[in-house]
């Protein structure tokens, strides 16, 4: 099927640098896009061409409405649209505009990130599990700030287990808070990226935003709060059970973690893995799983994660092959009849002397 779309003013901003956005549409929708002097020609399956035509119409509507795309948001939205048949460019842009993330505009950059944000909006407890760089913590902090600024909650509580990757807290200089701060630095970074530094400091002083190790959660009931547990793969079973039972009235909890980066002693099972096994199917909870296609860091990070996954798969296959029992060789067949065990051996013949 072929379809022609008339070129309109400023439509070239949709194409991207070196037409990279058009390549995203061609690869994602399996269509051919041909740019002419006065029109755009689309060729492909009727359903795919219709989706592309709707996307161009959505972009024209947003442009006329004064919407401006920033920091690669358009390219990210296009990847979400081509990956999710139920997503539209207009719907993503307007949904992002409705949320207030402080001084930042945050848009989902993959279908899983979109499902993650929707799950946080619609559920009181959400588990985000996946590799590093997929935006699990950043998006959770963005949603927490949105809830705080819109007065849906009264405070934000950010927690992390103080488990070290090969280091010991006791050997670090300073007070307990100074020892803990380096492990909570990613949470501080996300806050300062979305809010003015003065506002962050004011919220921290008044405990509107509280950042603490998970051990400080024991015995508390968290009402009117947005609670985030980061690096949950390093919690023990007891810590995870303690955390998920802290939730009070009018509160939300988001638990994030990467099960491939567990720093617990080998004898301890990750509380995140156990919670996913136990709580799957519980009404009111949502689980969102990310993979390397959701990584929003440097493009090399996707390839590195994929290489580690492939290496892990090869090791598992090798170990499985070593555990398989080797089949015993069948006994050799002989034509000679076996001698009965009861028959005596024949006597030796006498030797003659000369």
Per-residue pLDDT 10s for the chain (354 aa) are: 888 888 777 787 788 777 888 888 888 888 888 888 888 888 888 888 888 888 888 888 888 888 877 656 787 788 888 887 888 888 877 766 556 566 676 777 777 888 899 999 999 999 999 988 888 999 999 999 989 988 999 999 998 887 654 445 555 566 656 666 676 777 888 888 888 889 989 998 998 998 878 877 888 888 999 999 998 998 989 999 999 998 999 999 999 999 888 888 776 789 999 999 999 889 989 999 998 777 776 667 767 877 887 888 888 777 777 776 655 555 555 555 555 555 555 555 555 554
- Write the pLDDT tens digit of every residue in 106-119: 777 777 888 899 99
Mean pLDDT of the chain: 80
Instruction: Match 């103080």 to its residue by tokens.
Output: 162
* End-to-end alpha carbon distance in the chain: 112
SS (H, E, C) 11-24: HHHHCCHHHHHHHH
Alpha carbon distance 291, 87 (integer Å): 19
Tokens of 304: 């590195």
Alpha carbon distance 183, 186 (integer Å): 8
Phi, psi of 51 (to 5 degrees): -65, -40
Alpha carbon distance 263, 217 (integer Å): 21
Contacts of 26 (CB under 8 A, 6+ apart): 32, 33
Contacts of 239 (CB under 8 A, 6+ apart): 161, 214, 215, 271
Alpha carbon distance 145, 121 (integer Å): 13
**In the sheet where 39-43 sits, what is the strand order?**
2-6, 39-43, 32-35
């Amino acid at each position: 099927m072929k379809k022609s779309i008339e070129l309109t003013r400023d439509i070239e901003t949709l194409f991207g640098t070196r037409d990279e956005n058009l390549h995203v549409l061609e690869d994602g929708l399996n269509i051919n896009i041909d740019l002419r002097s006065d029109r755009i020609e689309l060729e492909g399956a009727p359903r795919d061409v219709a989706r592309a035509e709707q996307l161009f119409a959505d972009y024209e509507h947003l442009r006329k409405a004064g919407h401006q795309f920033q920091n690669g948001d358009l390219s990210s939205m296009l990847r979400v649209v081509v990956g999710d048949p139920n997503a539209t460019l207009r719907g993503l842009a307007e949904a992002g505009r409705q949320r207030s993330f402080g001084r930042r505009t945050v848009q989902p950059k993959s279908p899983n990130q979109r499902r993650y944000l929707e799950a946080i909006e619609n559920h009181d407890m959400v588990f985000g599990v996946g590799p590093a760089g997929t935006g699990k913590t950043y998006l959770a902090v963005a949603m927490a700030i949105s809830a705080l600024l819109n007065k849906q909650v009264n405070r934000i509580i950010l927690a992390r287990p103080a488990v070290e990757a090969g280091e010991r807290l006791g050997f670090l200089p300073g007070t307990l808070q100074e020892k803990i701060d380096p492990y909570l630095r990613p949470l501080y970074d996300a806050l300062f990226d979305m809010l003015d530094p003065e506002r962050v400091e004011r919220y921290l002083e008044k405990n509107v935003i509280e950042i603490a190790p998970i051990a400080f959660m024991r015995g508390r009931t968290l009402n009117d709060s947005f609670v985030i547990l980061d690096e949950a793969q390093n919690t023990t079973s007891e810590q995870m059970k303690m955390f998920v039972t802290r939730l009070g009235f009018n509160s939300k909890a988001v638990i994030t973690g990467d099960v491939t980066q567990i720093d617990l002693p080998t004898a301890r099972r990750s509380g995140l893995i156990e919670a996913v096994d136990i709580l799957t199917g519980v009404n009111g909870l949502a689980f969102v799983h990310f993979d390397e296609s959701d990584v929003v860091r440097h493009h090399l990070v996707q390839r590195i994660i994929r290489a580690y996954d492939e290496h892990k798969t090869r090791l598992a296959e090798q170990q499985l092959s070593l555990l398989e029992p080797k089949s015993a060789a069948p006994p050799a067949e002989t034509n000679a009849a076996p001698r009965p065990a009861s028959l005596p051996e024949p006597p030796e013949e006498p030797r003659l002397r000369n």
